[in-house]
Structure 1
């Protein structure tokens, strides 16, 4: 690394050294103690802290990062020497010269819209300043080795000087045309010789990040930008990761293709990379909000199911009724607890939901609302999705093959909503089998063999094939294969049957909503459970509770599974060991929804009722009816007592 000549009275440089020795002495000591001097080491600093201590240095780092970040790296080397001398028996031989100062702008004024724009709003005015961009990694290139520096000796004045690669022309180091040493004005030499063993190499990787489609308005196309990672930053992110990258915006000539105009393409040279994968699944939940949750459940301690229904009413409140669907959506989003069995096999905790229904039954509304409740969601339609678009596609860029993440990979750790599920081709549907059960995608394309993670909830919606025939199995009515249907924990059929009473209630509800100045019922808790409150609640119970099955719950779930295996003939594709795992997941999700850490008999029976609703022919409850016409009851706790008694009698578990 070429270290620029700095005079002793360079005030800026002295401030840099002072800042590092004062605020980051622990990091510097750990660098000195590191054994390998050939590695590249990061030194993390906070821009807000730098502004507070040395405002002028912070302003120069922001306004002229290309000039002053290398000086900051050199200051880190000098700071190591100072600390090594102060230490007893300190040796300068342990000084690490390959140190890169990484500037974290979190909590500083640089988080303003001007220096932290969306990718689509990046313009020329943002070049050559410390810029921060947020996005999702959609493409991750291979790690290359590039020349970072060569040293030439002038034959006339014998001075040695470094030459650096030109980013604009693809990191090519061109031989100098004139002497670049300090005495070049006197020398004017034009013949140079390369100094042996003076070439230095750097690790180099290009990635592409794309802005989140959820943050854009309707009709906007998500924009993307290339990012250059060097040295210690390479290989720390992968396709599908959410990142916040701080760096310097510059330009690079686009690929030299035949009959294509060669333009300058904006590119961000990264200085600091922050992964937000963990943050995406965690919403900031203040203590006062948690207290509200506890007070709410204390209020409904005597009638817990009434409290549960108050929460469920806040799911898609514009749709009247549909209690069964709203319960299924809540249980799917909350999910169960992932566990690893004795053989080391992971059993997924995420649930999958499929809505099969006639047009106009509100399937797409539920999909869009579920996406709002999830911190990370990707919405797509089966008609416009191929297997490559859902999983991973191999693209060729600058003569190199690389993988570009599809919908399921981008939704890792979140929710993937697929509307018009039936419009997908059979081949494309088959590609998501592994993603739904094993939660991985194995790829072997263009010589790239790898496995990517897809820990995502799949929420599908589809229309039946023609008129739904209740006498036929679900696979015939939906043209979906048995193996695919068995992967869905809940499959709800919404049939738009003629029901005069239901039509009257629904029309009255919709017309009442349109009345100006209508006062809502005092007991209506939908306002209490706003969208933001509901998001926080789901996030909180998922992170807080890991419910364990009680003996009573195990007995009920086991009894129901055995009964289904004995009586199930038409739904043979659905009644497998996967159904037993689904029962456990749904019971755990219901326990979380009820704000508790153990799965009781109530949760097990609620899971059974969900599974019963998703069966075309019920093994126990003959009066399940159409899920479309399921409404919220006045006294759910009393109704549950009757259902519990009836189910336990059917399972022959009554003492």
Structure 2
């Protein structure tokens, strides 16, 4: 344990003066804002200071704050309260604004924001699994995902006692590390009588100050762990204004003081010191991805790329798609479907106020060795937030939420779908899941919520998640049978997938020769160190930034011609005699809209054109093995990139529009 902070009187007064100067220079307006009348009637008010700003203004005070956060933060709170009292007194003396008399604010807490400071560097910001005894007592910043959120409780902050002998009053603070236990001194510490020696004390009623208290648990980011590593977790204590600002599934950066807490007393079990973080400041990072900060130069690169591809837009699109799983040859349809799934459409609210999801879902059905798992892992790398699991290793509780008992209280622990909220959930070996476990994700996929009633906890959690599944067919795939028969997946579950691609490993001598030549040539090029321009341009990091940018920047709207094409195709599939009842539902119409919007985003546009509608139809067609209107539909495994995609598109468009019969009927087309 670090030694207690001991300053001489002059040093302490000087430190307080320097803290006062810092608050006066940088946070006078914030303190005056706290004095404004508060309609919510809050008791505790945060004053957020920037550690990097303090480090520039007074490096010595910043270093003392890092070494002794508990004592120095108390000095900061006292300084903020003194400054607030001065502003309050000045405002009360000012009679020029009658009726605006400020309300006294007693509890101000200085919160330290470490964003952009050395405390968030990898050297000073260890992962949760690398926290050691040397970090105890220092100001520490940890990053993780909230996996458990406890209920808000009330806890004692301080009590006042009186010596029965000399009537000396003193304040006692409960020890948070010892289960909020109060320890009284052995004898009276009165300074006036130099310690009267009395050993009995009387509790003064109505002097208890209480605080809001909540315990959460954060876990290391799974994407940053190596293979075989078990993610570590740590309890975090939130108090006062910090309670209830995060929920299970949130990515957070927590700054606080590392301490330790005795484990509960259990018979015949040794009691240990468990590390815990007493939080000072909590920052949600769900929308603020530091590794996805897109500089202006990168945005200019995107705009220049599409300006150069204006004459042949589909060729430009295909060069982007070649960056997805470059080690796999061909599979154009799968790569296009992966890109559209990750980008997604626009969420909208219908007339009744019901939200219609914008995230598409995708299922790969294929023989072994067709690259399904590689696409899953590459998609997880492209997504800002992703969770990978397998059907055999997942239960319904592991996918949704688990009810756990901790310290006599039931709490909910987030599962894979909740942790992937706002991102991607990849489920490999989808057919290995038990039937009961598969039905639990019906609501999560369509309504994007999980309603639970476990151990007296009845609630609804948000799961705005894209589900990307992979499964093997049941035995030999029979093209004459429906998908439900070939995959043993129920119709309601299949209808929730926007894209279902079938990868059949057919024996084709010409195709095998092309693939083997590509793999051998790739190995030769790697030895020579040669790569094409498209491979250099669209690397993994560039693709991540591009997908993130187009999702944030573009909200495509359907044009009239796109509506006609989509509507005609939906009606054609509904009236087809050989239609698949599990796939041709109203959900297909919504899927077409989502995929068309995603394609418009991929093409760097803000409106959905006829081209986007045709591209969405071609994706849906690839899973239509019975009533396809395009000859190339069926096996997506042998779909390859064409030399002139723009010319090829003109032929496909004419064929599709002729089949749908919309050329003569619609003057718009």
Q: TM-score, normalised by structure 1?
A: 0.96
Q: 1:339 to 1:516 in 2, by over 3 A?
A: closer
- Mapped to 1, the partners of 2:609 and 2:396 lie a distance apart of 41
- 2:667 equivalent in structure 1: none
- 2:16 equivalent in structure 1: 13
Of 441, 444, 452, which residue of structure 1 is paired with 2:450?
A: 441
Q: Residues 542 and 592 of structure 1 are in contact (CA less than 8 Å); yes or no, is this contact kept in structure 2?
A: yes
Of 14, 21, 30, which residue of structure 1 is paired with 2:33?
A: 30
Q: Residues 595 and 616 of structure 2 are in contact (CA less than 8 Å); yes or no, is this contact kept in structure 1?
A: yes
Q: How does 1:446-525 map to 2 (within 5 A)?
A: 446-515=455-524, 524-525=533-534
Q: 1:517 to 1:606 in 2, by over 3 A?
A: closer
Q: Helix, strand or coil: the match of 1:455?
A: coil
Q: How does 1:140-155 map to 2 (within 5 A)?
A: 140-155=149-164
Matched, 1:212 2:216: no
- Mapped to 2, the partners of 1:37 and 1:440 lie a distance apart of 33
- 2:283 equivalent in structure 1: 274
- 2:273 equivalent in structure 1: 264
More deviation, 34-43/643-652: 34-43
Q: Helix, strand or coil: the match of 1:33?
A: coil
Q: 1:517 to 1:50 in 2, by over 3 A?
A: closer
- 2:598 equivalent in structure 1: 589
Q: Helix, strand or coil: the match of 1:142?
A: coil
Q: Helix, strand or coil: the match of 1:228?
A: strand
Q: Helix, strand or coil: the match of 1:627?
A: coil
Q: Residues 88 and 102 of structure 2 are in contact (CA less than 8 Å); yes or no, is this contact kept in structure 1?
A: no
By how many angstroms is 1:257 displaced? 2.7
Of 527, 537, 541, which residue of structure 1 is paired with 2:546?
A: 537
By how many angstroms is 1:7 displaced? 7.2
- 1:608 equivalent in structure 2: 617
- Mapped to 2, the partners of 1:23 and 1:37 lie a distance apart of 26
- Mapped to 1, the partners of 2:624 and 2:566 lie a distance apart of 16
- Mapped to 2, the partners of 1:184 and 1:483 lie a distance apart of 82
Matched, 1:55 2:66: no
Of 170, 177, 186, which residue of structure 2 is paired with 1:177?
A: 186
Of 117, 122, 128, which residue of structure 2 is paired with 1:119?
A: 128
CA displacement 1:25-45 (0-9 Å, x = unmatched): 111111122347760111110
Q: Helix, strand or coil: the match of 1:472?
A: coil
Q: 1:196 to 1:518 in 2, by over 3 A?
A: closer
Of 74, 81, 86, which residue of structure 2 is paired with 1:82?
A: 86
- Mapped to 2, the partners of 1:358 and 1:181 lie a distance apart of 82
More deviation, 520-529/462-471: 520-529
Q: 1:327 to 1:136 in 2, by over 3 A?
A: same
Q: Helix, strand or coil: the match of 1:227?
A: strand
More deviation, 117-126/247-256: 247-256
- 2:4 equivalent in structure 1: none
- 1:42 equivalent in structure 2: 46
Q: Which runs of 5+ in 1 are unaligned?
A: none
Q: Helix, strand or coil: the match of 1:10?
A: helix
- 2:3 equivalent in structure 1: none
Q: Helix, strand or coil: the match of 2:287?
A: helix
Q: Residues 165 and 173 of structure 1 are in contact (CA less than 8 Å); yes or no, is this contact kept in structure 2?
A: yes
Q: Which runs of 5+ in 2 are unaligned?
A: 1-6, 96-100, 665-669
By how many angstroms is 1:164 displaced? 1.2
Q: Helix, strand or coil: the match of 2:452?
A: strand
By how many angstroms is 1:169 displaced? 2.1
Q: 1:524 to 1:615 in 2, by over 3 A?
A: farther
By how many angstroms is 1:465 displaced? 1.0
> RMSD of the TM alignment (CA)?
2.1
Q: Residues 390 and 430 of structure 2 are in contact (CA less than 8 Å); yes or no, is this contact kept in structure 1?
A: yes
By how many angstroms is 1:158 displaced? 1.3
- Mapped to 2, the partners of 1:541 and 1:369 lie a distance apart of 19
More deviation, 445-454/177-186: 177-186
More deviation, 598-607/567-576: 567-576
Q: Residues 416 and 456 of structure 1 are in contact (CA less than 8 Å); yes or no, is this contact kept in structure 2?
A: yes
Of 368, 374, 382, which residue of structure 2 is paired with 1:365?
A: 374
Matched, 1:403 2:412: yes
Q: Residues 512 and 518 of structure 1 are in contact (CA less than 8 Å); yes or no, is this contact kept in structure 2?
A: no
Q: Helix, strand or coil: the match of 1:515?
A: helix
Q: Residues 147 and 248 of structure 2 are in contact (CA less than 8 Å); yes or no, is this contact kept in structure 1?
A: yes
Matched, 1:165 2:169: no
Q: Residues 281 and 414 of structure 1 are in contact (CA less than 8 Å); yes or no, is this contact kept in structure 2?
A: no
- Mapped to 2, the partners of 1:306 and 1:67 lie a distance apart of 63
- Mapped to 2, the partners of 1:545 and 1:124 lie a distance apart of 48
CA displacement 1:6-36 (0-9 Å, x = unmatched): 9798111122122112211111111122347
Q: Helix, strand or coil: the match of 1:583?
A: helix
CA displacement 1:193-246 (0-9 Å, x = unmatched): 001111111111100000011101111111000000011111111000000000
- 1:640 equivalent in structure 2: 649
- 1:631 equivalent in structure 2: 640
Q: 1:265 to 1:560 in 2, by over 3 A?
A: same
By how many angstroms is 1:542 displaced? 0.8
Q: Helix, strand or coil: the match of 2:235?
A: strand
- Mapped to 2, the partners of 1:460 and 1:559 lie a distance apart of 29
Q: 1:629 to 1:177 in 2, by over 3 A?
A: same
Q: Helix, strand or coil: the match of 1:302?
A: coil
More deviation, 358-367/85-94: 85-94
- Mapped to 1, the partners of 2:461 and 2:634 lie a distance apart of 41
- 2:98 equivalent in structure 1: none
Q: Helix, strand or coil: the match of 2:305?
A: helix
Q: Helix, strand or coil: the match of 1:610?
A: helix
Q: 1:61 to 1:515 in 2, by over 3 A?
A: same
Q: Helix, strand or coil: the match of 2:535?
A: coil
By how many angstroms is 1:517 displaced? 5.7
Q: Residues 486 and 574 of structure 1 are in contact (CA less than 8 Å); yes or no, is this contact kept in structure 2?
A: yes
More deviation, 603-612/65-74: 65-74
- 1:575 equivalent in structure 2: 584
